[in-house]
Amino acid sequence: MRRKVLKIELRRAFFNRRMAASLLIGCGISILHIFHNLLRYVAQWNEMAFELKGRLEYPAHVFNHWICGNTYNLEGFLYFVILPLLAVLPHSLSFYEDRKNGYIRQVYTRSDREIYLVAKYVSVFLAGGAAVVLPLLVNLCICMTLLPGLPPQNAAGTLINASVLWYTLYEKVPILYVLLFLIIDFIFAGLVAGLPLFLSFYSERKSVILLMPFILHIFIYSVCMMTALPSAVEYAPVYFTFAGIGCPSGWLLVGYGLAYFAIGGVLYWLVGKREDVF
């Protein structure tokens, strides 16, 4: 029964119009980045093929020019600003809808309540993570076909230095650094996607449930921007989940992870177990 409920929830999470819309928006931003930023560097490489001795600057490469590779591309910043919307859209509203249309009562009469609650959270987590990371993977793969995977050079311009985590990994094995951040983005997006599960108990409006994680995201970013400390903005999720900027502290990841899981996972579980739906 447990596998059956999880299988049903996963099918509902990944095969629906909202997931398609989220992926369409995310992939649209990723493809726009390719046309807006990368094509000129491809032309640069074609030109350098004939003028190798006439160029002294370090050439463009994948790890500094994919959508998460630098801070001066508009599409990358936009993507991580709307990350909560991309994560929440696929399946996070389904719990609210299940409670309103009576579907949850049908499930509870056929299965244990705890099984459904766990299956719902797992499916929401996976759908949110996939909706955010898959467009980033599309962008990375296209960039790898257009630009070479040269080792990054600090002199050529990069924010990844000794002040952030795993900077030596970025210099020695940059592809592992990128994959590590994709995993972090997946987990963070999944945790964000779980926040509306708890909010569904206390709001009657879909728009509030959908937008609250995004509002929280922007609120944290705004507070960090308004503080007197120049480096405070690095503690906002908009930045520390961005591979081209880096994360200043491992405790920062742990802190956000525990806080979001406590709200979207633990509190959702505790309230859901006691809720009277009959």
Contacts of 265 (CB under 8 A, 6+ apart): 121, 191, 194, 197
Q: Cβ distance 84 to 217 under 8 Å? A: yes
The per-residue pLDDT for 45 is: 57
Beta-carbon contacts of 217 under 8 Å, excluding residues fewer than 6 positions away, are 81, 83, 84, 192, 237, 238
Mean pLDDT on 196-204: 91
Q: How far is CA 146 from CA 7, 55, 247, 268, in A?
A: 38, 20, 27, 45
Is pLDDT above 50 for 53? no
Q: Which residue has the higher pLDDT, 193 or 51?
A: 193
Is there a contact between 79 and 67 (Cβ–Cβ < 8 Å)?
A: yes
- In this predicted structure, the answer to whether residue 115 has a pLDDT above a threshold of 70 is yes
Report pTM. 0.92
For the chain, the domains span: 2-274
The C-alpha atoms of residue 224 and residue 150 are separated, in whole angstroms, by 34
Q: Tokens at residue 192, please?
A: 């964000």
The mean pLDDT of 185-204, rounded to a whole number, is 94
User: Which of 27-31, 149-153, 159-163 has maximum average pLDDT?
Assistant: 27-31
